[in-house]
Every structure is written in structure tokens, then in C-alpha cells.
């Protein structure tokens, strides 16, 4: 079975690996380079503590489990550091812990002394939640590692101009110089997916969700966890720099425009971070602006759509969901999807946006 995946971000790369493990012949096509879009500008936090509803929690929790399975098979840049979260305090923090525990999630309340012991550089709060099962990934390195492990053929700097069809089913994709033949096509091109799908009468309404993230200069070892504070989320990268989105609670950020220029947003975020890390000299080194692929209802867009043989995988956050979405899509594409997998992705079926 010849499969073309449009998009070399984390979704496309993870799906390529899952499909080649099932014996498929996979080619990835991307107008840019691996992880060149939203993936490369992501915070890299794998979690289920953020979720829209119980079904979305279950999908995200299975995303964590799917990362465990991937890491069992491959050496990947995934750090199982856990997360310290103190966005809320007092009764609100206790309610958050109770809600997650009721869903079966590990959420432990730590006092100030324990938070300070674990993160000495942090201006410790009265209490924090510790999510032991959460992780951080280096998205660019992870994408490249999965592409390499997949053995898929890759065409970079090669835009797809059209999804080719014949007799009501896909036949390939149009690229510069001709048509790349395929039995199945998967659209996993982030914000570029909507225009391609529209050409074959598949509706994918996307919200406009710009995101800005910055890295500091390299520092000595300072942080051991993903940290989620009232001023925003931050973590330390393997190169010593600290990574932080400029939006507070960036996963739930619903801003459709930037409030200021990216450099000004980074300046303000560094000033907030400095109050939490008072003894750490901070300045930003680089800032990245990316458009996040967020479907209109905020939920993933996953599964078969349009002409026979066409599939899609577009969502935020692709970092947490990529491994489980890849497992399910690979099973669906190859005709091996289980009832449990079908039930898990049913709320995210592309049919929900299609015109009557």
C-alpha cells in the first residue's frame, strides 16, 4: 500500500513510523523542512492535566501511554520529568487535584518546602500539584528521529498543490513536475491543511491562533520539571536555555491576534519569569511566532474524510496527541482499527464540520 503523508511535523512523522511498522510504503511531502511549522515552535509538554472534557482527557491520557510504548521501542528525546503546577492556589488547587484524581490521573499536592526542595531556584508557592506522568519532548529532534526510524521517503521543500482523485477516490498528490501516485493520502499539514481539503470539498474551519515562544540564553542546570505558574509555563532545555510561551496558560489561550510585537511580548514574559526565578539572570535569545492549527471547536480533526482513501490529522496539541493519533490512524488506514480505537476518536470525526 502506497501512502503519501502531507506534512513533516510531529503528526506526519509519528504516523509515518506507525504505518511503516504495519508494512506500508510511505512518502512524506512538505513545502518546508521537518518540524518547520507549529511543531518546531511548540513548548513540548506532554500532558493530560489540560483537557476539554472527559473524552478529551481519555485521549490525552492515552497519548501519554502511547509515548511510553514509543520510548520502549526507540531511543527518543523524551524526558519523563513530571510537572509542577501552581496556576491555582487554595481551594481551586484542591479542586483541580480532586477532579484529576477522579479521572484516574496521578496528582499529588506538595507543600512549599517540598516544592523548594525539588526546584530550589523557584520562588516557591504555598502549594503545587505534581503530575508524575507528564513529560517534555524536544520536538524538532523527536520529529527527525521518528522520520529516520520510519524509513519513509521524504520530499522537503516540495509543496503539494492539489490532492489528485480518480473515480471518486484519491490517486495521489500534485507536486512540482507531476503527480506522486498513492493509494491513500493523509493531510497532516497543520494550518495549511484547510485549503488543500477544501479543494476536495472537505470543510476544516480553523481558528486564528498565533503563538509566540522564546528561549533564554544558556544557563547552568536550573530547573528539573515542567513548571506551570500563574505567570506562565516554563522549562529548561537540554542546551541550558529556558523555554517559555509568552501567553499565560498558553494551552487555553484563545487570542486571535497578538497584543504587541513578538519582541515586546517576550520582554514582558521575561519580566514575569524573573519574579519566579529571582536569582537567575534572564534575557531572551530568540523568539518564534507560529500559527497553531486549532479546529473551530478546539478539538482534534482525525480520520477518514472526503473521497475514498483520504484521511486527515490536524489538531492542537499535536505534541501530546501525536503517538495515539498515529496508532489509531495507522490502524484505520490499513483496515485494522479496533472498536475501542473507533470509539476513542469518534468525537473527532471530520464529518462534524461537513456541509449538509
Q: Do 206 and 293 contact (CB within 8 A), yes or no?
A: yes
d(C-alpha 51, C-alpha 56), whole Å: 6
Q: How many CB atoms lie within 10 A of CB 238?
A: 10
Domain boundaries, the chain: 2-43+140-207+296-353, 79-134+208-292
Tell me the average pLDDT across 146-159. 98
d(C-alpha 269, C-alpha 247), whole Å: 8
pLDDT at 253: 74
pLDDT at 136 over 70: yes
Q: What is the pLDDT of residues 18-68, one digit of tens each?
A: 999 999 999 999 999 999 999 999 999 999 999 999 999 999 999 999 999
Helices (H) and strands (E) counted in the chain, each on its own, are 9, 22
Handedness of CA 134, 283, 34, 232 (dihedral sign): positive
pLDDT at 98 over 60: yes
d(C-alpha 72, C-alpha 74), whole Å: 6
Q: What is the pLDDT of residues 232-271, one digit of tens each?
A: 999 999 999 999 999 987 777 778 899 999 999 999 999 9
Burial of residue 113 (CB within 10 Å: 0-12, 13-18, 19+) is exposed
Q: What is the pLDDT of residues 187-203, one digit of tens each?
A: 999 999 999 999 999 99
Q: Do 123 and 277 contact (CB within 8 A), yes or no?
A: yes
d(C-alpha 216, C-alpha 179), whole Å: 44
d(C-alpha 329, C-alpha 341), whole Å: 9
**Class of domain 79-134+208-292 as given by CATH:** alpha beta
The CATH superfamily label for domain 2-43+140-207+296-353 reads: FAD/NAD(P)-binding domain (3.50.50.60)
Q: What is the pLDDT of residues 76-89, one digit of tens each?
A: 999 999 999 999 99
Q: Do 59 and 324 contact (CB within 8 A), yes or no?
A: yes
H helices of 182-298, where? 193-198, 262-276
d(C-alpha 349, C-alpha 356), whole Å: 15
Q: What is the pLDDT of residues 259-313, one digit of tens each?
A: 999 999 999 999 999 999 999 999 999 999 999 999 999 999 999 999 999 999 9
pLDDT at 355: 66
pLDDT at 356 over 70: no
Q: How many percent of the chain have pLDDT more than 70?
A: 99
Q: Minimal CA–CA distance to 214: which of 150, 283, 292?
A: 283
Amino acid at each position: 500500500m502506497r501512502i503519501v503523508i502531507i506534512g513533516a511535523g510531529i503528526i506526519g512523522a509519528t504516523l509515518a513510523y506507525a504505518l511503516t511498522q504495519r508494512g506500508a510504503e510511505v512518502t512524506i511531502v512538505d513545502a518546508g523542512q521537518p518540524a518547520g511549522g507549529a511543531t518546531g515552535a511548540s513548548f513540548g509538554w506532554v500532558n493530560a492535566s489540560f483537557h476539554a472534557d472527559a473524552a478529551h482527557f481519555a485521549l490525552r491520557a492515552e497519548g501519554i501511554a502511547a509515548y511510553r510504548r514509543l520510548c520502549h521501542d526507540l531511543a527518543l528525546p523524551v524526558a519523563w520529568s513530571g510537572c509542577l503546577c501552581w496556576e491555582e492556589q487554595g481551594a481551586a488547587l484542591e479542586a483541580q487535584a480532586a477532579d484529576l484524581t477522579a479521572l484516574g490521573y496521578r496528582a499529588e499536592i506538595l507543600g512549599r518546602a517540598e516544592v523548594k526542595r525539588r526546584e530550589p531556584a523557584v520562588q516557591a508557592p504555598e502549594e503545587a500539584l505534581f503530575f508524575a506522568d507528564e513529560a517534555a519532548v524536544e520536538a524538532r529532534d523527536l520529529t527527525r528521529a521518528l522520520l529516520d526510524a520510519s524509513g519513509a521517503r521524504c520530499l522537503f521543500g516540495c509543496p503539494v498543490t492539489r490532492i489528485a482523485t480518480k473515480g471518486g477516490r484519491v490517486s495521489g498528490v500534485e507536486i512540482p513536475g507531476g503527480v506522486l501516485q498513492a493509494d491513500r493520502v493523509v493531510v497532516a499539514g497543520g494550518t495549511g491543511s484547510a485549503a488543500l481539503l477544501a479543494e476536495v470539498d472537505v470543510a476544516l474551519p480553523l481558528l486564528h491562533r498565533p503563538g509566540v515562544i522564546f528561549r533564554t540564553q544558556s544557563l547552568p542546570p536550573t530547573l528539573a520539571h515542567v513548571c506551570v505558574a500563574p505567570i506562565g509555563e516554563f522549562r529548561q532545555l537540554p542546551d541550558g536555555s529556558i523555554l517559555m510561551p509568552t501567553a499565560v496558560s498558553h494551552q487555553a489561550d484563545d487570542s486571535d491576534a497578538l497584543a504587541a510585537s513578538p519582541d515586546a511580548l517576550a520582554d514582558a514574559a521575561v519580566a514575569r519569569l524573573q519574579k519566579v526565578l529571582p536569582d537567575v539572570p534572564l534575557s531572551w535569545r530568540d523568539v518564534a511566532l507560529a500559527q497553531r492549527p486549532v479546529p473551530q471547536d478546539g478539538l482534534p480533526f482525525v480520520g477518514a474524510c472526503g473521497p475514498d482513501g483520504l484521511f486527515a490529522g490536524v489538531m492542537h496539541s499535536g505534541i501530546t496527541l501525536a503517538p495515539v493519533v498515529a496508532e489509531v490512524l495507522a490502524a484505520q488506514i490499513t483496515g485494522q482499527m479496533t472498536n475501542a480505537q473507533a470509539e476513542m476518536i469518534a468525537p473527532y470525526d471530520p464529518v462534524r464540520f461537513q456541509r449538509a
